[in-house]
Amino acid sequence: MGNEITFKDIYREYYQKILRYISKLVSNEEAEDITQEVFDKVNRGLAGFKGKSQLSTWIYRIATNASLDKLRAPSFKRAAEELIEEAEDRNVWTNHKKAPVDQQLIRKEMSECVQEHIDKLPSDYKAVILLSEQEGLTNQEIADILQVSLDNVKIRLHRARSSLKEILDNACDFYHNEQDILACDRKSSIIKFKKSD
């Protein structure tokens, strides 16, 4: 078949997309290694790919499974907890109430803030939010990738969005700044000082 897609074509079309997706599921340091592992599996499995699902669905399924396996590893959980503690320590002392700044910077901070809180979701919720909101996949595509029913995807998405909203409401104060751009300030309730006797 002269129309057959080659691994080189797949790599060129999907590598950056999958790397971006995985880096939002796991740490940036781990993303490159997991992405290489994913494409190694794609390369080895390409001959056996029967086309029962779309190629993109198959690749995202491999990427999701590899990422979730990594997230469930005890050593990864310990390292992630340490990174979250470090980030919270740094954020406690960040003053976000300074004069308005460039719109791009505000949007970047918002995006980083939301991503930080997405990272706190359970791995099943995190995967479904990223596939839907950031990768733009349909509920049916997500169901195929995660190998669950369409109803299950809808339930997970609803619960993930509700959990994320609750986390964000507890962690941030949202407002529109002078340029009418949605911005947020982290709530400083994390800081607890002990009274000296």
Q: Where are the domains of the chain?
A: 1-74, 94-189
Which backbone phi and psi does 175 adopt, to 5 degrees? -160, 165
CA 151 remoteness from chain centre: 22
pLDDT digits (tens, 9 = 90+) for 47-85: 888 888 889 999 999 999 998 888 776 654 454 455 444
100 band by pLDDT with thresholds 50, 70 and 90: very low
Spell out a b/e string for 48-62, using b for 16 or more CB atoms within 10 Å of the CB, else e.
eeeeebeebbbbbbb
Average pLDDT value for residue range 106-124: 75
Confidence of residue 124 (pLDDT cuts 50, 70, 90): confident
Is the overall model pTM greater than 0.85, yes or no? no
Q: What would the mean pLDDT of 163-170 be, rounded to a whole number?
A: 85
CATH of 1-74, picked from 3.65.10.10, 3.30.70.890, 1.10.1740.10, 3.20.20.70, is 1.10.1740.10
Share of the chain above pLDDT 90, in %: 32
94-189: CATH topology is: Arc Repressor Mutant, subunit A (1.10.10)
28 to 35, 81, 98: CA distances (angstroms): 11, 15, 29
